[in-house]
Structure 1
């Protein structure tokens, strides 16, 4: 089924990461109207637009957002190259390793879709193929495809999980995980969908929110392969990928998590707005009724 999008095509542009969050977690800066707080956030690339254009207007503090693929973001913090007040990642497994915070909150889910540009011939072919045959025009080289690097972010390795699961689900003659990926398809997560504007690609393996927030059409995938449904957790877990660090990540339901590294009243206010505000749904994420879900030793003022 082709997904319906509620935001007009290209009316919402991806926010530009103001990535100057270096070593300051939360500091004070005085402006003409008095004193205000600045809170640094290191976040998954797929969250960037929602943070810049949704969260920013919901908080009193000034937020400085730096966005990377989640695996890269986790590595930068683990190696001491970045020291943000808040870390928000697209895979909670990264809070086990390379990060090991005392606690974190799961706050949103997502699904894998095939986003496409309906203004191109390749995009139109993919739309015609639909959710039952989307892989055929890609295998026939009728569609130029974009995806992200599995070594840098969860979307990259989740794209490979989906392709592996799709091979079995559709009963294809070709191993889609082996036949479809090429190095030429890889773009940074924060730039993936913007390649539609440049004409570089016809379609992309993306998170649903990335298509929704930019107003692009997309092909919904069956829940058996889109990594969105807890009922299929066991099936998803049959897929895996080894990161350059040697850590093996398993397939599973997409789940976003966040933690505070440098706590202050301003940071807690931003964190609470980040993990509970309506903006997440408006930007295409799914927020289950029991979210946010907290793990381990959560400070009382975070959960109050």
Structure 2
């Protein structure tokens, strides 16, 4: 094919605390062990891709009990905006959701990630991996010819879903393959995140578009996509922005670097503050496959549009 080669390369990351996915809904609520002394748990509503970092990292780092609900970020933001959820800490896989759907006085961008294509130990999964290793093929060729079944999350509920569409659009442009998205995508691919992982792990899907942190946590073999499409390179932000998707509410989202942001919604609660601070700490996140630039966390006030790597520069945060 012409254009920039986007076949990627096969990668396997070490397993870090395998998290058994539950089929059905993406929502997953878990309360930390024993809540001693009558303490109320800190309620955390987080992106599904953060679930393992909270369950296997954050809980171990703190004595405070945590009640975690993991959902697609767009769905989570809408629940808060509609008053159906009122978490102490809200952590989303797309900082722009705080601007589009929520009236949050400030938030902190705390990590980045990259897209990849996880491959199962199935004939179709091995075909995807083998295509990625060949000079005369692309990873998506077995999907196009029906050899492999690809799964993805719903773009109307989850940033991973619309980022998958961005990656395919960017790959189509770079590879001069105008029919790529139409050939790869089908309505029966869509799953809530935990259902996607369950289908993938049981071999019902041969490949799935996931974040590298998810692949690292679960020990998946995956195709490591190039920066031109994996939404990881800040220097390519303008190129990423050429890919767009219209959400059901009419809002158009554009491609950008994958980033995570969190807001402390109960600032007077010392336990909630401890959980928030531990969540945005680089040590916990790096151990679960997230990338954490040296300038993070970056605090931003929506009212003043201030962007800073220290809370003291953001109005209302100096006391933190």
Same fold, TM-score > 0.5, yes or no = yes
What's the CA shift string for 1:3-22, capped at 9, x where partnerless? 230227xx61247765279x
Does structure 1 residue 13 correspond to structure 2 residue 23? no
Could you list the runs of 5+ residues in structure 2 that have no partner in the other structure? 1-8, 302-314
Residue 218 of structure 2, aligned match among 200, 214, 219: 214
Indicate the residue corresponding to 1:121 in structure 2: 123
Q: Is the 8 A contact 1:46 1:190 kept in 2?
A: no
Indicate the residue corresponding to 1:267 in structure 2: 272
Report matched runs for 1:115-264 at 5 Å.
Answer: 115-117=118-120, 119-130=121-132, 133-172=138-177, 174-263=178-267, 264=269
My pick for the range that moved more, 236-245 or 274-283, is 274-283
Q: Is the 8 A contact 1:137 1:143 kept in 2?
A: yes
Aligned-partner Cα distance in 2 for 1:85–1:107: 17
Change (3 A) 1:217 1:269: same
My pick for the range that moved more, 194-203 or 65-74, is 194-203
Q: Alpha-carbon deviation of 1:193?
A: 2.2
Q: Is the 8 A contact 1:228 1:253 kept in 2?
A: yes
Count of aligned residue pairs for this structure pair? 289
Could you list the runs of 5+ residues in structure 1 that have no partner in the other structure? 22-28
Aligned-partner Cα distance in 1 for 2:316–2:51: 25
Q: Is the 8 A contact 2:278 2:284 kept in 1?
A: no
Change (3 A) 1:291 1:198: same
Does structure 1 residue 97 correspond to structure 2 residue 100? yes
Q: Is the 8 A contact 2:21 2:194 kept in 1?
A: no
Q: Is the 8 A contact 1:42 1:65 kept in 2?
A: yes
Q: Alpha-carbon deviation of 1:30?
A: 6.8
Q: Is the 8 A contact 2:152 2:190 kept in 1?
A: yes
Does structure 1 residue 55 correspond to structure 2 residue 73? no
- Give the superposed CA RMSD: 1.9
Q: Alpha-carbon deviation of 1:89?
A: 0.3
Give TM-score scaled by structure 1 length: 0.90
Q: Alpha-carbon deviation of 1:178?
A: 2.1
Q: Alpha-carbon deviation of 1:141?
A: 0.8
Aligned-partner Cα distance in 1 for 2:319–2:144: 52
Does structure 1 residue 106 correspond to structure 2 residue 109? yes
What's the CA shift string for 1:201-258, capped at 9, x where partnerless? 0100111111110001000111011100001000000011111111111110000000
Aligned-partner Cα distance in 2 for 1:230–1:162: 15
Q: Is the 8 A contact 1:193 1:210 kept in 2?
A: no
Residue 317 of structure 2, aligned match among 273, 293, 299: 299
Aligned-partner Cα distance in 2 for 1:51–1:15: 15
Aligned-partner Cα distance in 2 for 1:279–1:227: 22
Aligned-partner Cα distance in 2 for 1:176–1:193: 24
Aligned-partner Cα distance in 1 for 2:237–2:103: 23
